[in-house]
Amino acid sequence: MRLTHALAALLAAGTLLGTAGLGHAEISERTIKFAAQNSKGHPQVTGMERFAEIVKEKSGGKIEVKLFPGGTLGGDVQTLASVQGGIVEMTVMNAGILSGTVKEFGVVDLPFLFATPEEADAVMDGPVGTGLMEKLPDQRLVGLGFWELGFRHLTNNRHAVNGVEDVKGLKIRTVQSAVPIATFNALGANAVPLPYPELYSALETGTVDGQENPLANIVNAKFTEVQKYLTLTGHQYNPQIVIASKTFWDGLDPEEQKLLQDAAIEARDYQRKVSREANAGFLEQIKESGMEVVELPAEKLEAFRAAVEPVIAENRDAIGGETVDAVMTQLKTLRGQ
């Protein structure tokens, strides 16, 4: 009897020790390729670096996230196809680019949609953002959350844009998405959609006169070297989406899936903070570079809003009226309207 009790005690102790030592037992050693368009030093890449650190820590070093910034694995459209095919495990990109895959994502590209980053956070972290991500698995993608790129502004190399009339005739590079193209055509520009890795060369050679991007991109990609004029239009706010290949995701253990999901959210909060704190510094760097910076008075900015207002109505059905209405309703609530 004593032997039986002793054996039972030993077995129980062994079980406890085994459980205590499990920790990362369900996590396999693997390498994750994580691709993006911006280069090291950009808040997007800083977020990726933080994500990699968190994953390494939480996995006990078993999972390595290998970063491929700077468009080294191709432009957004090419990278997205690679993620869908399981060739690349993860990427982070403008959420609106997914509108070519899931039409409802076009809602985030609507001009002058969000007034503040906090409004965007509330919408993208809430039911609207969740609903959008729920449409991705059918397209061989898994959404892990929304990071920030920020408000987009207009640069060009021909003349200062002091009002909407100055945009007319400019060849402006846009992202490869329907709503931004429609937005700049509505402003009187000739919208030229191009992959991001091709943009610097297009500006340098004069293939396009200008482009529109957040301040972080203008500095990080050194557009200050090939552009003379910046106008702070803030015409669009870019939430970025972190996405994984469904093929890759389905091969993970539930514990691994939770680890990556938690890491993406933790890195999101860090990335947004870094992005917003850096914004003022980026503007100062642009001014120091010698670019002429135009800050539009309220009435001039309102003229931009009026010029692109038809874009919302014209694209409502293409995006999905229910999605557009859901965003507008939530924004009204947030604004106390």
| Helix/strand/coil for 209 | coil
Take residue 197 and report the two structure tokens written for it: 């890795």
Q: Model confidence over 74-113: pLDDT tens digits?
A: 999 999 999 999 999 999 999 999 999 999 999 999 999 9
Q: What pLDDT, on the 0 to 100 scale, is given for residue 153?
A: 98
Q: Model confidence over 261-273: pLDDT tens digits?
A: 999 999 999 999 9
| Helix/strand/coil for 2 | helix
CATH for 28-334 is 3.40.190.170
| Helix/strand/coil for 176 | coil
DSSP secondary-structure letter at 98?
Answer: G
Q: What pLDDT, on the 0 to 100 scale, is given for residue 119?
A: 97
Q: What pLDDT, on the 0 to 100 scale, is given for residue 24?
A: 59
Q: How far apart are CA 337 and CA 331, in angstroms?
A: 9
**Which residues in the chain land under pLDDT 50?**
1-22
Residue of 177, 183, 207 whose CA lies nearest to 75: 177
User: What pTM does this model have?
Assistant: 0.88
- Domain ranges in the chain are 28-334
